[in-house]
Structure 1
Amino acid sequence: MKIRTRLSLLFTLITAIILLLFATAIYYSAAKDREKEFYSLLKKEAYTKANLFFDADITQKTLQDIYKNNRKILNEVEVAIYDTRSNLLYHDAVDIDMVKETPEMLQSIHEKGEISFYQGDWQVIGVRYPFQNEYYLITATAYDEYGYTKLNNLLNSSILIFILAILVIFFTGIYFSKKTFDPVRDMIKKAKIISASRLDLRLPLKDNKDELAELTNTFNEMLTRLENSFEAQKLFVSNTSHELRTPLTRLLTELELSEKKQLTNDEYASLIHNLTTDVQQLIRLSNSLLDLARANYDRSKITFKTVRIDEILLDARHQVQKLNPQYKVNICFDMETEDDSDISIEGNEYLLQVAFANLFENGCKFSDNLQSQVVITNKEKKIQLTFSDSGIGISEKDLKKIFDPFFRGDNKYFTEGNGIGLSLTKKIIEIHNGSITAQSELNHGTTFIIELPI
């Protein structure tokens, strides 16, 4: 069942319940009013007949004839008069006698002064009537045909109006739900056209600031993220294949040459050296790709714990200098603290070490003196790390793209690399809710500033 049909049915059901309760309340109120008014009428008729019997010079036979004649054309009130000893003084029609008065009933009238009840569909009222220092007991009964007819008409009208109202509400709900969900249907049609090859398409966004507009905007933002992800994936695969092809091609070429001719010992030594260099390059590339993949994991799946930044920096320096003994890395503190919490963060030790090692290695390999340094400071509940070198620097146009995966600027001719390090570093810092910015000037070195929340 479609949502619009379900909503229409639900709305109709809720409305039907409300209308039913409303109609029931009206009918119940009308029935109570009819009952109350008819009891009042019976009481008036009882007093009227008593006045005629006791005060007026009218015989019993005349009163009984009036009752029997009126009873043929309308529901005349049947009245009976008793004394307090339960002796019948007058009755409109003993042969009919709808009430069947008993001594207990008359005693109840005498004690309470007034009682009312139903005899089948007939309403009965009993009252105590004072006359010449004596009390008399009067019962009056009649069938309220006019009142019941009005109630029955009210019930029939209510049922008819209820059915018509439910039908109108249901079809009106169908119409308005269709109008309401037309934009959703348009969204569905547009969404069916969008595929992996057409991620540039977007759903039309209207000026309305309702939930559908919010849904459309959210969907378009998701498509933008998917498009960027697909583009990044294609770029990643393309650049990875290119980076892998170069050392693999060199390996294959050198092996094929060595297979076709006999080499001297020196030539074999040179070949092994070249092969070792290419394999090392492949290892570095594969490690960088693995680290980049790890850094793209969902943050919730990465293990975090409290770590000291200075200890991670020392481990990163050790890692860089182990592979490149000629590199010099200086770690400086521009702060005084005896509290470990001032230099600790919630982070992943391995990923942070990879990020810091990348910055140390870049600073050293692009500097003539093979030297890099980092300064640690506190800044507004954040740890600030300033990595700097005095190397060849980065041009202004390249500075805007240095964090793009596989991007290598004009300095690619200075030393080898694969363009993954800085993009990986930026991703790791973002995972730790930090930020990284770069400043550089050609031939005057480069500075990277990282801020991480304590």
Structure 2
Amino acid sequence: MKVRTRLTLLFTFVTAMLMIFYGIAVYYSSSKARETSFYAQLRNEGVAKANLFFQSTLSEKEMHRLYKNNTKTINEVQVAIYDPEFNLIYHDDSKVDYVKEDPKMLSGILKNKEISFFINDLQAIGTVYTHNGKEYLVTAAGYDQYGYNSINHLLTISIIAFISILILIYLAGIFLSKKALNPLSEMVEQIKRITAGKLQLRLKTTKEKDELNELAQNFNGMLERLENSFDAQKHFVSNISHELRTPLSAIITELELASEKEHTKEEYQETIRFALDDARNMVKLSNSLMDLAKASYDPNEISFSEIRLDEILLESYSKIIKENSEYKVSLNIDSEVEEPQLTLQGNEYLLQVAFNNLIDNACKYSPEHTCCIDVKTHASSLIISFTNTGIIISPEDLQHIFEPFYRSENSKEEKGYGIGLFLTEKIIHLHHAKIKVASENNKTVFMVIFDF
């Protein structure tokens, strides 16, 4: 079922319930008002008949004749009068006695001064009438034909109006829902035209501050992120293909040359050594790409736990020294740094990858292969500095140093793929930290800043 139909039916149903509730309330209050009004009419008719009986010159027969003549044209009220000893002294028509009074009923009238009740469709009332110091009991009963006709007419009109209004509301609901959801239909048509090859298309937005315009703006924002992601993936795949092609081509060339003619044992060993170096480079590249993929996950999908930064730095320090015996790395932690300042929520593996890259880069591009790591606090931040001396980075290269696969002119003499710093920046940002670089006066410093 379409949203338009559901909204129309829901709107019609809610309106129907409200109208039914209103109709029941009106019918009930009108019925009670009729009942109260007719009781008052019965009381007045009983008192009038009693006045006529006690104070007029009309005989009882003449009053009976008057009653019977009235019953031919209207629903005349039937009245009976009893003396204090419960003896009947007057009745409009004793042969057709509506009330059928008994001593118990008459006692109740005398005790309560007035009672009212139903006899099937008839209403009846009993009241005390005082004449010459004596209390007489008067009962009056009758059928409120006019009142019931009015109530039935009201019910008929209400049912017809209810059905008519429901039909009109249903038609109005269809029109209004169609008009209200028309922008959604237009958005659906626009979305159908957006494909993987047409991510540059956008939904139309207006200056209105409504939910539909907000939806269109958020959807356009999602398309913007998807387009950037697709472009980044294309660029990423293109660079990966280029980087993988170089060592693969070298391996193939070396093996083809080795297979074309006989070589000495030393020449074969040299060919194998070259192929192994290229294979190891491919392994390093694939490991870097795997780390990059892990760092590119949704932050909600990466497990974080309580870690110590000094312990991770020591592990990175030990790992780099073990793998590269010519590297000289020093780690200095300021005495003012307290243990809580070194503890945070993070991913140990990813942070170690980031620190490994910074230490390796510092040693690699330093003529003395040295890296000095300093840990200190400043204001409400913990600052970890990775410093090397020697080759500085030009201002032009500093602007692109964290871009993927970018390599400066000074770094092309060393082996690498331009992934390390890009990966490091992503990891640092995942931990809500900042990374800065400064290169001047024969010294390059990478600073990682964690806020407390």
Q: Structure 1 length as normaliser, TM-score?
A: 0.94
1:245 matches 2:245: yes
How far apart are 1:150 and its partner, in Å? 1.2
Compared with structure 1, are the counterparts of its residues 8 and 356 closer, same or farther at alpha carbon in structure 2 (3 Å cutoff)? same
Instruction: Deviation per CA, 1:332-371: give whole Å up to 9, x if none.
Output: 224414x422212222222111101101111222222322
Instruction: Deviation per CA, 1:234-263: give whole Å up to 9, x if none.
Output: 222221111111011001101111111223
Q: How does 1:219-298 map to 2 (within 5 A)?
A: 219-298=219-298
Q: How does 1:48-447 map to 2 (within 5 A)?
A: 48-337=48-337, 339-441=338-440, 444-447=442-445
How far apart are 1:381 and its partner, in Å? 4.2
How far apart are 1:139 and its partner, in Å? 0.8
Q: Is the Cα–Cα contact under 8 Å of residues 365 and 411 in structure 2 kept in the other structure? A: no
How far apart are 1:265 and its partner, in Å? 4.5
How far apart are 1:272 and its partner, in Å? 3.2
CA distance in 1, matches of 2:37, 2:317: 102
Q: Is the Cα–Cα contact under 8 Å of residues 336 and 376 in structure 2 kept in the other structure? A: no
**Aligned with 1:224: secondary structure?**
helix
**Aligned with 1:205: secondary structure?**
coil
Specify the code of the residue in structure 1 equivalent to 2:225: R
How far apart are 1:45 and its partner, in Å? 0.9
CA distance in 2, matches of 1:376, 1:82: 114
Q: Is the Cα–Cα contact under 8 Å of residues 375 and 385 in structure 1 kept in the other structure? A: yes
**Aligned with 1:20: secondary structure?**
helix
Q: Is the Cα–Cα contact under 8 Å of residues 126 and 139 in structure 2 kept in the other structure? A: yes
How far apart are 1:453 and its partner, in Å? 4.2
Unpaired stretches in structure 2, ≥5 consecutive residues: none
CA distance in 1, matches of 2:239, 2:24: 76
**Aligned with 1:392: secondary structure?**
coil
Larger deviation, residues 26-35 vs 191-200: 191-200
Specify the code of the residue in structure 1 equivalent to 2:420: G
Instruction: Deviation per CA, 1:117-156: give whole Å up to 9, x if none.
Output: 1112111111111111222111111111111111111111
Compared with structure 1, are the counterparts of its residues 170 and 382 closer, same or farther at alpha carbon in structure 2 (3 Å cutoff)? farther
1:4 matches 2:4: yes
Compared with structure 1, are the counterparts of its residues 175 and 285 closer, same or farther at alpha carbon in structure 2 (3 Å cutoff)? same
**Aligned with 1:403: secondary structure?**
coil
Compared with structure 1, are the counterparts of its residues 400 and 182 closer, same or farther at alpha carbon in structure 2 (3 Å cutoff)? farther
CA distance in 2, matches of 1:16, 1:325: 86
Q: Is the Cα–Cα contact under 8 Å of residues 98 and 141 in structure 1 kept in the other structure? A: yes
Residue 16 of structure 2 is matched in structure 1 by 16
**Aligned with 1:389: secondary structure?**
strand
Compared with structure 1, are the counterparts of its residues 10 and 309 closer, same or farther at alpha carbon in structure 2 (3 Å cutoff)? same
CA distance in 2, matches of 1:317, 1:203: 52
How far apart are 1:104 and its partner, in Å? 2.0
CA distance in 1, matches of 2:110, 2:312: 105
Larger deviation, residues 191-200 vs 405-414: 405-414
Larger deviation, residues 49-58 vs 101-110: 101-110
Instruction: Deviation per CA, 1:262-291: give whole Å up to 9, x if none.
Output: 233443343233223212211211111111
Q: Is the Cα–Cα contact under 8 Å of residues 363 and 371 in structure 2 kept in the other structure? A: yes
How far apart are 1:10 and its partner, in Å? 1.5
Specify the code of the residue in structure 2 equivalent to 1:316: S
Larger deviation, residues 355-364 vs 103-112: 103-112
Specify the code of the residue in structure 1 equivalent to 2:125: I
Post-superposition, which runs of at least 4 consecutive aligned residues in structure 1 deviate over 4 A?
none
Q: Is the Cα–Cα contact under 8 Å of residues 124 and 139 in structure 1 kept in the other structure? A: yes
CA distance in 1, matches of 2:16, 2:394: 74
How far apart are 1:419 and its partner, in Å? 0.9
Larger deviation, residues 248-257 vs 18-27: 18-27
CA distance in 2, matches of 1:265, 1:408: 38
Compared with structure 1, are the counterparts of its residues 83 and 184 closer, same or farther at alpha carbon in structure 2 (3 Å cutoff)? same
Q: Is the Cα–Cα contact under 8 Å of residues 335 and 376 in structure 1 kept in the other structure? A: no
CA distance in 1, matches of 2:213, 2:413: 52
CA distance in 2, matches of 1:305, 1:382: 20
CA distance in 2, matches of 1:15, 1:446: 74
How far apart are 1:329 and its partner, in Å? 2.0
CA distance in 2, matches of 1:73, 1:52: 21
**Aligned with 2:263: secondary structure?**
coil
CA distance in 1, matches of 2:392, 2:3: 61
Q: Is the Cα–Cα contact under 8 Å of residues 383 and 450 in structure 2 kept in the other structure? A: yes
Compared with structure 1, are the counterparts of its residues 380 and 187 closer, same or farther at alpha carbon in structure 2 (3 Å cutoff)? farther
Q: Is the Cα–Cα contact under 8 Å of residues 345 and 453 in structure 1 kept in the other structure? A: no
CA distance in 2, matches of 1:285, 1:143: 103
CA root-mean-square deviation? 1.9
CA distance in 2, matches of 1:429, 1:166: 63
Q: Is the Cα–Cα contact under 8 Å of residues 363 and 391 in structure 1 kept in the other structure? A: no
Specify the code of the residue in structure 1 equivalent to 2:358: L
Q: Is the Cα–Cα contact under 8 Å of residues 371 and 387 in structure 2 kept in the other structure? A: yes
Instruction: Deviation per CA, 1:73-92: give whole Å up to 9, x if none.
Output: 11221111111222221111
Q: Is the Cα–Cα contact under 8 Å of residues 67 and 92 in structure 2 kept in the other structure? A: yes
CA distance in 1, matches of 2:390, 2:422: 20
Specify the code of the residue in structure 1 equivalent to 2:13: L
Compared with structure 1, are the counterparts of its residues 380 and 42 closer, same or farther at alpha carbon in structure 2 (3 Å cutoff)? farther
How far apart are 1:452 and its partner, in Å? 2.4
Q: Give the length in aligned residue pairs.
A: 452
Compared with structure 1, are the counterparts of its residues 297 and 332 closer, same or farther at alpha carbon in structure 2 (3 Å cutoff)? same
CA distance in 1, matches of 2:378, 2:5: 59
CA distance in 2, matches of 1:242, 1:19: 74
Unpaired stretches in structure 1, ≥5 consecutive residues: none
